[in-house]
C-alpha cells in the first residue's frame, strides 16, 4: 500500500505555512525554494529509489502504453542486475553495474494517462505526492508530455519523456526538467521528403488529415513545409478529434478534392482506423491527376503497422528506431526483450527503455539524486551503444540528436512484427536542426522541495 512521503511531514507544513504567512501580502508571487540546499523533492533516503512510469493504458494510444510498460519493467530488471543486462552491455558509459542506482534498489510505480492531459497530470501528481517518485517517464502523446513536463518543472522532478514527437516538446514548451530521446516532427520531414520526392515526383497535390493537438499541428506544419519545398501543393488541411473512431466523414471529401496524396498525421489507433478506412474507401486503387493515389503516414510504429495489417503495405513513414537494426545494441535489446515477452520491442518501448537507462547513468555520473546535478550530467552528454549510433543530448533544448529511420510497409511480411522495413537511415548530421528553431525557454535549475 501507499506510504506517507516527505512532502507531508508536520514540520515542513508548519514551515511552509509560516513562511507563507510572514510574506503574505508582501509580494504576489513568492517561491518556496532555496532554503534546503540538498533537500529536494522525494530525496530517496531508504535503500530503494522509486521511479514513476506514466503510460496510456487506455485510450487511443493504449497499444504503445502496454509496450512501454514492458520496456520499463525490463529496464528496472536490468538496472537491478537481473536478466542479461540488455543495452547496459553496449552502452558507451559504463557506470551501471546492475546494482541499482547509486547502490539503491530500483522500484517503480505505474499510472494510466488514459491518453489525455488531465488524467496524466492527475496520475503524475499521485505518483509524486503519494508514491514519492524521484523521476517520471513514459507517455505516448505530446499533449501529455507537455502537461506532465510542466508539472515536473514545478515540482523539481525530472521527466524523461517517452514517445512524444511534437516540435513543441523540446521547442516552445521545453523545460529544464524535461528530456526527450525521441525524434521530432521536423526531423520526420527532413527524413521523409527526399524519399517522397524520389518515389512520387514533384508534381503532387497533398491533403492532410491531422490530429487536433500539439503533435498533429507541428507535424502537419513540418511535413507541409518539407513537401512544399519539393514543389508539392497542399490542397487542404483538416483537423480531426483524437479518438474519432469513424473517419469516414473526413475521408469522403478527399475523393473529389483533386488531391493525389493523402497525408495522415495520426498516431496509435487513430492512424490504424484512418488508414484502414482510407484503404476501404479505395483510395489506394484510385487514379488522380493522372497518377496513382498515394497515402503517407509521417510517423509510424510497428504496433500501428500490426493494427493496420495489409493496409500498411508500401506506405512510407518515419520511425525513431527499428528492432531489425543490425547494430549490436539494438540486437542486444531486442533479444533481451524478446526472451522476456515473446515479441520484439516497438520504438515506444525502445525510447522508454533508453530514457530509464540514461537517467540512471546520469545519476551515477553526478554521484547524487539532486536534480540540478543530474540535469547537468545529462545536458551535452555524448553517448553511443543505445541503438541510434553516436547520440548527443543537446544542452540548449534537451533534444537527443541521433539517426532516424525512414520506413516503408513491407509487401511480404515474415511475421506480424515484420511489417515495416527501413528504407533509409538518415544520419545525425542530416537530421540535425538549429536548437533555436522552435523557440521556448528551459527555465531554472532550482530544485523545488515539494
Partner 1 sequence: MEAIFAQFLNGLDKGGAYALIALGLTLVFGTLGVVNFAHGALFMLGAFCAVTFRRLLTLEQVTVSETELTPWGSPLEIRVPYAEQWFGDFGQVLIDYSVPFSILLAIPVMLIIGVAMERGLIKHFYKRPHAEQILVTFGLAIVLQEVVRSFFGANPIPQPIPSSLVGAADVGSWLGMQANQVVYPWWRLVYLLFSVVVIGGVFAFLQFTTFGMVVRAGMADRETVGLLGINIDRRFTIMFGLAAILAGLAGVMYTPLLPPNFHLGMDFLVLSFVVVVVGGMGSLPGAVAAGFLLGIVQSFASMTEVKAIIPAIDQIIVYLIAVIVLLTRPRGLLGRRGVMEN
Partner 2 sequence: MFFMNRRDILVFAGFTILVLTMPIWLTPTGAAYPALMQTFAIYGIMVIGFNILFGLTGYLSFGHAAFLGVGSYTAVWSFKLLTMNAIPALLFAVLLSGVFAVVIGYVSLRRSGIYFSILTLAFAQMCYSLAYSVLTPITNGETSLQLTLQDPRVIDLAFTERGSGLPVPNLFGLPMTGLTGFYFCAVILVLAFFLAQRITNSPFGMTLKGIKSNQNRMDYTGFNTRPYTLAAFVISGMYAGLAGGLLAVTDPLAGAERMQWTASGEIVLMTILGGAGTLFGPVIGAWLVKYAENIFSAFNESVLHNFFSFLPDGMEEPFVWVAALFVGEGWHLTLGLLFMIVVIFLPGGIMEGVRRIGTLFRRRPDTSDGSAVSAKQQPAE
Binding site for partner 2 (CB under 8 A): 1-5, 7-8, 13, 16-17, 20-21, 23-32, 57, 109, 114, 116-119, 121-122, 125-126, 129-130, 142-143, 146-147, 150-151, 153-154, 173, 211-214, 239, 241-242, 441, 443-444, 446, 450
Query: Which does residue 25 bind out of partner 2, partner 1, none, counting CB within 5 to 8 angstroms by kind?
Result: partner 2
Given partner 1, partner 2, none, residue 150, with its beta carbon under 5 to 8 Å by kind, binds partner 2
- H-type alpha helices, 389-445: 428-431
The correct pick among 5, 6, 66, 443 for binding partner 1 (CB under 8 A) is 66
Residue with cell 547502490: 103
Cβ 280 to partner 2 shortest distance, Å:
25
Look at residues 352, 302, 353 and name the one whose alpha carbon lies nearest to residue 86.
353
Measure the CA–CA gap between 441 and 431, rounded to whole angstroms. 22
CB of 130 to partner 2, least distance (A): 5
Report the DSSP pairing between strands 316-319 and 404-409.
Answer: antiparallel
Pick what 252 binds: partner 2, partner 1, none; C-beta below 5 to 8 Å, kind-dependent.
Answer: partner 1
Q: Which helix (H) or strand (E) holds 19?
A: helix 10-23
- Residues touching partner 1, count (CB under 8 A): 45
Q: How far apart are CA 271 and CA 288, in angstroms?
A: 23
Alpha helices in 281-403 (DSSP H): 302-308, 328-341, 347-366, 371-378
Helix axes 62-79, 268-280, angle to 10 degrees: 140
Phi, psi of 414 (to 5 degrees): -75, -30
Tell me the closest approach of the beta carbon of residue 432 to partner 1, in angstroms.
31
Work out how close the CB of 221 gets to partner 2 at its nearest, in angstroms, rounded to a whole number: 14
**Which backbone phi and psi does 240 adopt, to 5 degrees?**
-120, 145
Which of partner 2, partner 1, none interacts with 142 (beta carbon under 5 to 8 A by kind)?
partner 2
Contact pick of 215, 417, 431, 450 for partner 1 (by CB under 8 A): 417
Does residue number 82 form part of the binding site for partner 1 (CB under 8 A)? no
For the bound state, the minimum distance from the C-beta of residue 297 to partner 1, rounded and expressed in Å, comes to 17
**CB 240 → partner 1: shortest distance, Å?**
10
Q: Does 415 bind partner 1 (CB under 8 A)?
A: yes
Written as one string, the DSSP assignment of 234-267 is EEEEEEE-TT----HHHHHHHHTTT-SEEEEE--
Query: CA 104, 107, 109 angle in degrees (round to 5)?
Result: 150
Cβ contact 155:180 at 8 Å: no
Residue 220 binding: pick among partner 2, partner 1, none (C-beta 5-8 Å cut-off by kind)? none
Piece of the chain touching partner 1 by CB under 8 A; list 129-137, 259-267, 372-380, 409-417: 409-417
Query: Which residue, among 369, 447, 450, has the nearest Cα to 177 in the 3D structure?
Result: 447
Q: Which helix (H) or strand (E) holds 207?
A: strand 205-211
**Interface stretch with partner 1, choices 121-129, 341-349, 357-365, 403-411 (CB under 8 A):** 341-349
Give one word for 258, left, alpha or beta, with left for phi > 0 and alpha for psi -120 to 50.
left
- Cell numbers of 442, please? 528551459
- What is the footprint of partner 1 within residues 215-274 (CB under 8 A)? 236, 238, 241, 245-246, 248-250, 252-253, 255-256, 269, 272-273
Instruction: Give phi and psi for 324, each to the nearest 5.
Output: -90, 5
**Which partner, partner 2, partner 1, none, binds residue 27 by CB below 5 to 8 Å per kind?**
partner 2
Nearest to 354 by CA among 52, 74, 54: 74
For residue 122, the minimal CB distance to partner 1 (Å) is: 17
Those residues with Cβ within 8 angstroms of residue 297's Cβ, 6 or more apart along the chain or in another chain: 263, 264, 266, 271, 275, 304, 315, 316, 317
Q: Which does 309 bind (CB under 5 to 8 A by kind): partner 2, partner 1, none?
A: partner 1
Region label for 86, one of left (φ > 0), alpha (ψ between -120 and 50) or beta (otherwise): left
Q: Which does residue 16 bind out of partner 2, partner 1, none, counting CB within 5 to 8 angstroms by kind? A: partner 2
What is the nearest approach in angstroms of partner 1 to the Cβ of residue 267?
14
**321: contact with partner 1 by CB under 8 A:** no
Instruction: State yes or no: residue 48 binds partner 1 (CB under 8 A).
Output: no
Query: Least distance from C-beta 241 to partner 2, angstroms?
Result: 6
Rounded distance between C-alpha atoms, residue 159 and residue 447, angstroms: 13
**443 binding partner 1? (CB under 8 A):** no
Question: Which positions lie near partner 1, rule CB under 8 A?
Answer: 57-59, 62-63, 66, 236, 238, 241, 245-246, 248-250, 252-253, 255-256, 269, 272-273, 276-277, 280-282, 285-287, 307, 309, 323-324, 334-335, 337-339, 342-344, 414-415, 417-418
Amino acid at each position: 500500500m501507499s506510504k506517507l512521503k516527505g512532502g507531508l511531514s508536520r514540520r515542513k507544513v508548519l514551515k511552509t505555512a509560516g513562511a507563507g504567512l510572514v510574506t503574505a501580502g508582501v509580494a504576489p508571487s513568492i517561491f518556496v525554494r532555496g532554503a534546503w540546499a540538498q533537500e529536494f523533492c522525494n530525496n530517496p533516503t531508504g535503500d530503494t529509489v522509486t521511479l514513476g512510469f506514466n503510460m496510456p493504458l487506455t485510450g487511443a494510444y493504449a497499444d504503445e502504453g502496454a509496450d512501454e510498460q514492458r520496456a520499463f519493467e525490463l529496464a528496472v530488471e536490468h538496472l537491478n542486475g537481473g536478466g542479461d543486462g540488455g543495452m547496459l552491455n553496449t552502452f558507451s558509459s559504463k557506470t551501471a553495474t546492475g546494482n541499482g542506482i547509486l547502490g539503491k534498489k530500483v522500484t517503480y510505480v505505474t499510472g494510466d494517462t488514459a491518453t489525455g492531459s488531465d488524467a496524466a497530470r492527475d496520475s503524475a501528481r499521485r505518483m509524486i505526492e503519494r508514491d514519492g517518485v524521484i523521476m517520471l517517464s513514459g507517455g505516448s502523446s505530446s499533449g501529455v508530455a507537455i502537461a506532465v513536463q510542466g508539472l515536473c518543472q514545478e515540482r523539481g522532478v525530472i521527466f524523461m519523456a517517452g514517445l512524444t514527437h511534437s516540435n513543441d516538446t523540446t521547442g516552445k514548451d521545453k523545460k529544464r526538467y524535461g528530456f526527450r530521446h525521441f525524434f521530432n516532427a521536423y526531423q520526420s520531414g527532413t527524413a521523409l521528403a527526399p524519399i517522397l520526392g524520389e518515389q512520387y515526383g514533384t508534381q503532387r497535390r497533398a491533403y492532410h488529415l491531422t490530429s487536433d493537438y500539439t503533435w498533429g499541428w507541428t507535424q502537419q506544419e513540418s511535413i507541409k513545409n518539407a513537401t512544399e519545398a519539393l514543389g508539392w501543393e497542399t490542397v487542404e488541411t483538416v483537423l480531426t478529434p483524437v479518438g474519432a473512431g469513424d473517419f469516414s466523414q473526413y475521408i469522403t471529401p478527399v475523393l473529389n478534392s483533386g488531391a493525389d496524396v493523402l497525408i495522415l498525421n495520426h498516431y496509435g489507433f487513430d492512424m490504424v482506423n484512418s488508414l484502414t478506412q482510407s484503404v476501404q474507401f479505395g483510395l489506394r486503387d484510385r487514379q488522380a491527376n493522372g497518377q496513382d493515389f498515394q497515402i503517407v503516414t509521417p510517423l509510424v510504429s510497428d504496433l500501428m503497422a500490426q493494427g493496420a495489417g495489409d493496409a500498411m503495405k508500401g506506405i512510407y513513414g518515419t520511425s525513431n528506431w527499428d528492432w531489425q537494426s543490425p547494430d549490436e545494441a539494438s540486437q542486444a535489446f531486442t533479444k533481451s526483450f524478446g526472451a522476456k515477452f515473446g515479441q520484439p520491442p516497438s520504438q515506444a518501448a525502445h525510447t522508454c527503455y533508453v530514457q530509464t537507462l540514461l537517467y540512471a547513468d546520469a545519476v551515477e555520473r553526478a554521484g547524487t539524486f539532486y536534480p540540478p546535478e543530474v540535469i547537468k550530467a545529462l545536458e551535452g552528454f555524448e553517448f553511443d551503444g543505445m541503438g541510434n549510433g553516436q547520440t548527443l543530448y543537446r544542452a540548449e533544448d534537451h533534444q537527443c540528436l541521433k539517426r532516424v529511420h525512414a520506413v516503408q510497409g513491407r509487401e511480404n511480411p515474415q511475421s506480424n512484427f515484420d511489417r515495416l522495413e527501413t528504407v533509409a537511415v538518415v544520419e545525425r548530421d542530416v537530421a540535425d536542426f538549429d536548437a533555436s528553431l522552435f523557440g521556448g525557454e528551459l527555465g531554472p535549475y532550482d530544485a523545488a522541495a515539494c
